[in-house]
Amino acid sequence: MKKTYLLAATAIVAAGFTACGNSAPKEDLKSDVDSLSYAFGIDQGQSVKQYLQQMQIDTAYIDEFIKGMNDGAQNADDKKRAAYNAGIGVGMQMNMIIKNQINRQIFGEDSTKTISLNNFLSGFAASAKGKGQKMTVEKAREVEQKTSKTIQMKAAEKTYGANKKKSDAYMAANAKKPGVKTLGQGVQVKELKAGSGATPKASDVVKINYVGKTIEGKVFDQRNDATMPVSGVIPGFTEALSKMPVGAKWEITIPYTAGYGAEQPSPDIKPFSTLVFTVELLGIEKAPQGTPAMPQGHPGK
Q: Within this chain, do residues 178 and 119 fall inside the same structural domain, yes or no? A: no
Phi, psi of 9 (to 5 degrees): -65, -40
- In-domain check, residue 208: yes
Whether 21 and 84 share a structural domain: yes
* Co-location of 188 and 113 in the same domain: no
Q: Please tell me the predicted confidence (pLDDT) of residue 56.
A: 75
What's this model's pTM, rounded to 2 decimal places? Answer: 0.59
Which has more pLDDT, 209 or 39?
209
Q: Are residues 112 and 206 in the same domain?
A: no
What's the pLDDT at 288?
52
Query: Is residue 45 in some structural domain?
Result: yes
How many domains does the chain contain in total? 2
Give the pLDDT score at 60. 82
Cα 45 to Cα 39, 234, 292, distances in angstroms = 10, 50, 47
Q: Do 11 and 118 have their domain in common? A: yes
181 shares its domain with 116: no
Rg (CA), the chain: 28
CB atoms within 10 A of CB 14: 19
Residue 283 half-sphere exposure toward CB, CA atoms < 13 A: 5
Q: Are residues 11 and 98 in the same domain?
A: yes
Residues 263 and 190 in one domain: yes
pLDDT at 12 over 70: no
pLDDT-derived band at 275 (thresholds 50, 70, 90) equals very high
- Could you tell me which residue, 31 or 161, shows the higher pLDDT? 161
Residue 161 lies in a domain: no
C-alpha 22, offset from chain centre: 41
Question: E strands of the chain, at which residues?
Answer: 180-182, 188-193, 205-214, 219-229, 249-254, 275-285
**Of 141 and 44, which is predicted with more confidence?**
141
- Note down the domain range covering 273: 173-285
Residues 252, 194, single domain; the answer is yes
Centroid of chain to Cα 2: 36
What confidence tens digit (pLDDT) does each residue in 221-272 have? 999 999 999 988 999 999 999 999 999 999 999 999 999 888 888 888 999 9
Q: What is the DSSP code string of 144-171? A: HHHHHHHHHHHHHHHHHHHHHHHHHHHH
For residues 257 and 73, what is the distance between their CA atoms, to the nearest angstrom?
Answer: 54
Please tell me whether residues 221 and 113 are part of one structural domain: no
Answer yes or no: are the C-beta atoms of 250 and 192 closer than 8 Å: yes
What whole-number percentage of the chain has pLDDT above 70?
Answer: 86
My answer on whether 10 and 92 are in the same domain is: yes
| 28 inside domain | yes
Q: Which long-range contacts (CB under 8 A, 24 or more apart) does 91-95 make?
A: 91/121, 92/17, 92/55, 92/57, 93/55, 94/120, 94/121, 94/124
| 160, pLDDT greater than 60 | yes
Please indicate whether residue 46 or residue 161 has the higher confidence score (pLDDT): 161
CB-based contacts of 263: which residues, under 8 Å, 6+ apart?
A: 152, 271
Taking alpha carbons only, the member of 222, 227, 197 closest to residue 212 is: 222
Whether residue 4 is predicted with pLDDT greater than 70 in this model: the reply is no
Mean pLDDT of 63-73: 79
pLDDT in tens, 176-220: 999 999 999 999 999 999 988 899 998 899 999 999 999 999 999
Does a structural domain hold residue 259? yes
CATH number, domain with residue 269: 3.10.50.40
- Mean pLDDT highest for which of 4-13, 73-82, 274-283? 274-283
**Three-state SS for 31?**
coil
Same domain, 8 and 118: yes
Q: What pLDDT is attached to residue 24?
A: 63
**Does the residue 160 lie in any domain?**
no
Helix (H, G, I), strand (E, B) or coil at 131: coil
136 within a domain of the structure (yes/no): no
pLDDT at 298: 63
Ramachandran class of 272: left when φ > 0, alpha when ψ lies in -120 to 50, beta otherwise: left
Q: pLDDT tens digits for 281-298?
A: 999 986 555 544 444 456
Contacts of 169 (CB under 8 A, 6+ apart): none
pLDDT tens for each residue of 96-130: 888 878 887 777 767 788 888 778 878 888 887 88
Distances (CA, A) of 196 to 43, 86, 184, 199, 238: 73, 63, 22, 9, 19
pLDDT computed for residue 292 by the predictor: 46
What pLDDT is recorded for position 135? 78
In this structure, is residue 46 part of a structural domain?
A: yes
First and final C-alpha spacing in the chain = 48
